[in-house]
Structure 1
């Protein structure tokens, strides 16, 4: 976690309360040295890394005319650079063990960019390319895939008319849920080892509409 320590602690408590093993580790994934320290701490406390899910991301509104260099760097450093260095460090451990899985959280905006969020969309297109490149670089021991959510978890208070317009192009006719995304990630973790380099849209069919 970065700034959401309380939420991370709640997740740890929920997992351990059900008999699982969990711990939370702080890190700013845009800082490669911080990533290295985090991975070392995970290995020391939990004994290794079998699965990595690259989910850390920020999603600020960045209009084309007013986006600053600092805003661009912050988005790309968090969303893409972070995924690269987390993968680099975790992959070394996975290759040593002879097996592992990396799941990147991409976004359908990698294919259908939103004009008001271009740095984010570029970062997620980079995550797709990173997925393909890592799949080739780490095969056959490590499988690398991505999940690309579409319209998922609209914020509370989202205007009804705007929601209607947002969901109109979605063939499934509804927004996605966190469970939709989580179950797809779980499939990639527990499913066939012969899947690598895939990007699975979880978008209710939006990309084909």
Structure 2
């Protein structure tokens, strides 16, 4: 099985701490494409190989049926090295979400939920909240579970203490358990040179 994902991240800042910036400097966006290929399936695990626009090499991973990472690393020119999944940009967040939303759910059920957001070298934050299965629907012709989630937490942005919240919706394919689409908004606030800066990340 082969899947292709397009991840677009938009960041905006506002507030007294950035009043010296022009309007064009207060926002930025980046779009990245990832291709995920399932290379092997066993009774209790499956292997994937991931390539992407900004990946140096290919990500090689093995996951349990509940999306617990059994192996995760990067292969470059035939040489493999382990990597830290939770801290891995974009992919770490995506697989963390897949793990938290896996398993059997009832419509209307709410469970504790965690989300880590890492944008090296500036941003690192960990949030806690809840995820709720809202309904069973269809997306691109496939039956999907629609989840709504929200969380709050603290972290760092450029060495400053950051407070952030997050709200989002995710659609998980019922046949395969893979994520079909996710949309999130994460506003936050930190201090720069003693003045407040408001920021927001959207994916």
Interval containing the TM-score (normalised by the shorter chain): 0.3 to 0.5
Higher helix share: 1
Q: State the TM-score, normalizing by the size of structure 2.
A: 0.33
**Higher relative contact order by CA 8 Å / sep ≥ 6: 1 or 2?**
1
Q: State the TM-score, normalizing by the size of structure 1.
A: 0.32
